[in-house]
Amino acid sequence: MAHPIRSALAIAVSAALVAACGGGGGGGGGGGGKGPKADGTVKNVPLASGFDKDGEFSWGYTIEASSLDPHRGTSGFDQNWLFPVYDRLVYAAPDGILKPMLATSWEAAEDGGSVTLKLREGVTFHDGTPMDAAAVKTSLDRARDDESVVKSDLATIQDVTVADDHTVRLALSGGAGAILGALADRAGMIISPAAIKKGGLDTHPVGAGPYTMVDHKQGDRVDYGRYGRYWDPSVQRVAKMTFRVMSDDQTRLNALQAGELSMALIRQNQVEPAQRMGLNVLAGESPTFYAFTVNNARKPFGDRKVRLALNLAIDRKAIGEGLLDGFCTPQIQPWPSTSWAYDEKLGAGLDKWPHDPARAKKLLAEAGYPKGFTFTALTSQTTGIAAVAEAVQAQFAKVGVTMKIKLVDASQKTRMFDVEKSADAALISYSPTPDPQGVLDRQLLPGAAGNPGRKASDEVVRLAGEAGDALDPDDRAPVFHKIMAELIDYVPHSVPICMQQRTEAFRDGVSGLAVNPAGSRDFRGVAVTKGG
């Protein structure tokens, strides 16, 4: 007879095993092959002529949205599910340039103390409520309340005021440029005020985007249908979209092959198999970084020589191009090459922090550790980061430093490293916000959640304030280049190893695709041909 305790245990154990083996959200597992293999992939697919206006686009992704409420969802990958429904105030185009969306124009005050946004007229939410300044205020205020997960993105907003029906003014404590970047992401998604009042946004999103949510089967799929009163019908190139949850990597490939999906996230080691099946592969900056981070308030990481030595011990090329098959670009800049903040002159920067074990050893000796030292690094078991950690471990061993690896859950890493500050170091993967300011806010500045040691270069702190004020990327870029130079000199507690590429396979006939600079999936303007 089946015993209930045994059965309950059996399913729990099966589940735990599957949970341990499966991948996380956007992270990519590494294959064991040699040399870059990113051949035959494309970075974007221009719109094909003769696409099917009644077509249906379906996409398979690893994890479902934790919630369809932009302000409440706990996962950093929720926005993928939200983009079709929610238009943002500002649109971050694939080239990283901010363009009008619900806001048609914006202007910063001379003193940088506020930004004024002009709103698009004649726009209505899916429930018929007009999109106006009051609605924007309601939405932004909600995005800044205590329960909001995007609160910190809007931390510089002091107040939102309705100037007239279609004008809102954001009073800022600084960082006018940075705030616009944030408004292109989840924090800038504008929700129908009537729907906020009604509640139920976790499962019934109501925005002003090109598609309405038609059906939501938790753990399975979200179906979207074309919104008839959308302000820009030219981007509504398919009649229906379906996003499906398929946490198993092979399953997504199967579904693509069987024609049950138009497109799906694939792992880097699936690129070749997918191409052999006749699928096309989109590969581009994701940008999810693999990074090595220490608590610089703990010994011996407060010492710049030690941090530099560890940096020189890491062989970024071997990891990105060898271990990860060329699907992780080795670089030391913490933003993608597509970002305006990226310093083209510096490039990957591998000459600044070259792989130089001999010099690393010398530095360690100078710092008083001729025989090296031992420390423990946390790493998550849910993404490909574990393989990277092992490679780093071997590279450190070559300079006499013993790094013990402790596999923990991502949330446990947050608890031990960020909150309790009880861990020496961690190998992490992080996705910056569309605006490079986010990297500073979340990782590098003394108050950043990812900086438990609370130490940073004073010069970086000063420059960060300066960089946030300007609105125009052209004005901000030079400041970010200076920040980068200062980071190289200071050697911060957190340094990138390589930047992952996002890989997606798609069937013939899918077009109008481009890689979103924030690494998230916005299928705005996607099209399919008949039978595609």
Partner 1 sequence: MAGYAVRRLLTAVPLLALIGFGAFMLTFMIPGDVAATIAGESATPQRIEEVRRQLGLDDSALTQFGRWAGGVLQGDLGTSMIHRIAVTQMIGERLGVTVSLVAFGLLIAVLVGVPAGLVAGLRPGRWTDRLVTVLTTLGLAVPAFWLATILIIVFAINLGMLPATGFVPITENPLRWLESMILPGLAIGAASAADVARQSRSAVAETVGRDHVRTSRAMGLRPRSVVGRHVLKNSGIPIVTVASLQVERLLGAAVVVELMFAMPGLGQLTVSAVRARDIPTIQGVVLTIAVVVILVNLLVDLSYAWFNPRLRKR
Question: By the criterion CB under 8 A, which residues form the site for partner 1?
Answer: 1-8, 10-12, 14-16, 18-19, 22, 60, 63-64, 66-67, 72, 74, 76, 146, 149-153, 202-203, 217-220, 244-248, 250-251, 254-255, 257-260, 382, 408-412, 414-415, 418-419, 430-431, 438, 441-442, 447, 449
Could you give the CA distance from residue 47 to residue 376 in angstroms, rounded to a whole number? 49
Q: Token digits for 509?
A: 């006939």
Q: Which is nearer to partner 1, 391 or 428 (CB)?
A: 428
Closest separation between CB of residue 252 and partner 1, Å? Answer: 8
Q: 221-226 and 44-45 as β-strands: parallel, antiparallel, unpaired? A: unpaired
DSSP sequence for 347-363? TT-TTTS---HHHHHHH
Amino acid in position 478: P
Closest separation between CB of residue 383 and partner 1, Å? Answer: 12
Could you give the CA distance from residue 13 to residue 521 in angstroms, rounded to a whole number? 33
Closest separation between CB of residue 407 and partner 1, Å? Answer: 9
Closest separation between CB of residue 43 and partner 1, Å? Answer: 26
Q: Which is nearer to partner 1, 161 or 203 (CB)?
A: 203
Q: Token digits for 86?
A: 């929610």
DSSP state of 124: B
CA distances from 87 to 192, 206, 225, 246, 511 (A): 11, 10, 15, 26, 21
DSSP state of 295: -
Q: Which is nearer to partner 1, 65 or 131 (CB)?
A: 65
Q: Which is nearer to partner 1, 214 or 397 (CB)?
A: 214
Q: Which is nearer to partner 1, 150 or 387 (CB)?
A: 150
Closest separation between CB of residue 121 and partner 1, Å? Answer: 33
Please work out, in degrees rounded to the nearest 5, the angle formed at the alpha carbon of residue 348 by the alpha carbons of 342 and 351.
Answer: 130
Q: Which is nearer to partner 1, 115 or 150 (CB)?
A: 150
Secondary element (H or E) of residue 419: none
DSSP state of 190: P
Q: Which is nearer to partner 1, 27 or 400 (CB)?
A: 27
Contact indicator for 210, 527 with CB cutoff of 8 Å: no
Closest separation between CB of residue 299 and partner 1, Å? Answer: 21
The torsion angles phi and psi of 250, rounded to 5 degrees, stand at -65, -35
Closest separation between CB of residue 130 and partner 1, Å? Answer: 28
Contact indicator for 514, 94 with CB cutoff of 8 Å: yes
Q: Token digits for 193?
A: 């005020």
Q: Which is nearer to partner 1, 41 or 247 (CB)?
A: 247
The torsion angles phi and psi of 484, rounded to 5 degrees, stand at -60, -45
Closest separation between CB of residue 90 and partner 1, Å? Answer: 19
